[in-house]
Chains A and B, each alone.
Chain A
Amino acid sequence: MTTTYEPNKVLSNKEFKVVGTRPVRPDGADKVTGRAQYGADLQLTGLLYGKTLRSPHAHANIKSIDFKKALALEGVKAVVSAKDFPETKDTANYGLGDSPMNYFRGNILADKKVLYKGQAIAAVAASSVHVAEAALSLIDVKYEVLDAVLTAPEGMAKDAPILHDDLFTKEFEKQTKVNSNIAEHFQHKMGDIDEGFAGADVIVERTFDTATVHQGYIEPHNVTALWNDDDRIHVWTSTQGAFTVRAAVSEALAVPVSKIKVTPMEIGGGFGGKINVYEDPAAALLSKKAGHKPVKMVMTRAEVFEGTGPTPGSHMTVKMGATNEGKIVAAQANLAMEAGAYPGSPVGAGAMCVFTAYDIANVTIDGYDVVVNKPKTAAYRAPGAPNAAFAAEQVIDEIAEKLNIDPLELRLQNAAKEGTRRADGPIHPRIGCVEVLEAMKEHHHYQSPLTPAKNGGKVGRGVGIGFWFNIGMQSACNISVNNDGTVNLVEGSTDIGGSRASIAMHAAEVLGISYEDVKPQVADTDSVGYTAITGGSRTTFATGWAAYEAANDVKAQLIDRAATIWGVDPDSVEMEEGVLRSKTDTELNMSFKDLSAQLNDTGGPIVGRGAVDPSGIGGSFCGQIVDVEVDPETGKTDILRFTVVQDAGKAIHPSYVEGQMQGGSVQGIGWALNEEYYYSEDGRMNNPTFLDYRMPTSLDLPMIDTVIVEVANPGHPYGVRGVGEANIVSPQAAVANAIKSAVGARMEKMPMNPAAIMEQLWS
């Protein structure tokens, strides 16, 4: 069934000319003609090809590595291993917090120990990919295989094999003397949890397990690196943060950032998974050792699954209590998430989001970051929050069921508002939780009867709501005026989903010119100020803000220039809708276009700059309504109808906002129903292909209806909240709740594939 888009629920009352329209993206023509240059498309003179040798074991000591035979193969130019890293300091920080250098480097090229199957050990550069691959099979590595730990509960067990002999549990940064796989334990506490439960009429407690999943971007990681004869390094790569890559290469190789230039190529999806840096430092080392020849490395799909990502599996207990009237009075969560081989799971974020949609007086949340023999986890769209919401949003659903209250009504009754204190401490600023829930309740999907079954199965409806806090961080932007009344905009955020357009729209709005007159460009690290990752839903918010600042700088200079030309006081000149005019003398006016033509004769070029590290971040709420059909004979689940409602603050480019909502929701559906790393007992992933790691196809889905709610973020000039992530938080729970309503099975395991549903039905 095709449904037309809901009109947007607009609560911000500012009027805009460009903001809120849906222009075609500036890189569009290149991307529909095959001309856009992605990392793997790069060709350089004298190019060599690199390949990585990866561990076949999940946990093993490396006894020795012998390269003799590989080096003897014709066409092999260089090999590298951890031995090629220079002496350096103990801690690495490439813009995302501190980590011990041996952990950071260990995930690039393992030293004495491998901690997951697929971990990089060595790399080869050769005249072709085929030769490089042949050389890998000639490298002789001797291992001492150890027992593997594959889940958080296994890792936390008393007698678990220990991954790192230098890892001691931290308790909110207190270093304990316990050598264990628990890297960190933290706690958020508010009110009195025992008192809270004592006052509850119903209490629901359940334990949930979710599997490891991958971000699943279609473009594999790739890098080309040239360590030039003058010792300057140039890296071309597919990344969410060119400056992050620069810092990581600098930290790994102990080369100053001024000697490294990173050119971000077009990027074929990231979702958080292209923030971590993998083969880039090894490619640079290979380039140097091969006699300063450029080296290109492109991962295979299996390498992407086994060596990058994923987002963690988790083990979580959630307990909530409510009064008969439907007031939630206590909530407790115990969240353990797999960090993978090195500390750093997103459990902190999960803890921050688990009960954030609700106003609850008594809350305790414990989080555990547990290392296991799986790839080091990477961010994946609202990292940690979907796991937590899968648990909490099902427990709430069960409370609603027990109290016989409509599930959206129960959520509305307890919804967080401006002024509500979150369990981790801070107070919510203006948020759109209530508005999102109301829009869901009023939506004709929620108002209409269940979608009829297509194949004679049982149908059910579920809802869920999720939160993501979003981030700010540094962004820079320059705008220079062309003499034909257009501007060039240079920014540093790699564009994964149309952000060039939304950033350009900020500038066009300020200058009062058309969107087409702003030409945005993503620059390399030598050509623009420091700009943090495209991630955390920050790009439109922060880099858009930098563009807003740069455009205002241009505007101020234009006003000055017009005043000079007219010989009047700049304070008496204003610029509105692309026209400069005197506030007092109606004779004095001039279009931006006319002024731009005169710049070179009246004082020279005008260049504006914007550099920000903004506060005023606005978190986003997003909810889903889903109708499913479950075949009670097989457990197969089909999505019949799906509606997603999100608070965008202000949708700069509504089509791209809808795209984020649809994309995030569908990733959530895949996570809910199918996706999982399927492990053998000794820690090998059994399904590292798109055939067996099954992501949703067009055939698995209906249209994804969207409603954009706009509760303006007072912290941004146009009211923007980030929209990239909140949409993946609760689809899993909404699907689980729909399955429960269809067949009566409460799903405590994810994915909810046919086997899991049948198991639950028979139990």
Chain B
Amino acid sequence: MPKLRVDGKEIETKQGTTLLQGCLDNDIYIPNLCFLESMEDPSASCRMCFVEIEGEKQPITSCTVNVKDDMVVKTDTPAVRQLQRTALRLLLSVHHVDCKHCPANKKCELQRIAKFLKVGLKPKGLERYLQETEIDRNHPFINHYPNRCVLCGKCVHICRRQHGQSVWTFAQRGFDTVISAYGEAGASSLTCGKCDACVKICPVGALTFKDVQEDG
């Protein structure tokens, strides 16, 4: 089993796992939003999980490197923190922060990261850009809240893994990118009634069952 040195501490990890997973397994927290262990090819889209590795010139996303024996890693350098804080601020600038009315309140990954990085949930200095649609009700059982979604892609991944195909997909592009179940209303009623994988995996409160909460 590979032995690594992370923040001055010796750790042992599984063979062939990602650095991010190896650290998490050893109770070393690295902020992350878009990674799941079952992903073959992590999209590394949230830009949260940066670390510095000895021998590498620049900070690197820990979900895209595999552990190696004798790796020396730092998870809390100034450069790493700056990248993470910027990524978080950008996410929050397109986020409708209203935790009181959000089912994810207190178990939300975004709240956790903000606390960890000591960034307020309403940081100043960036213009706020919200989607027009507050609630997308197209799906027969599940409501989607684009302004809470961090576009991590976990719902798409988990649905595909469970059912071979995903009801959810990324649609549009750039600032307008959203998660959508377009046209799957009929098909999804077959599986979605019995499955809650996407609602459970969502790190924020962007997917909710219709009967649980309709407001907010």
Do A and B form a real pair? no
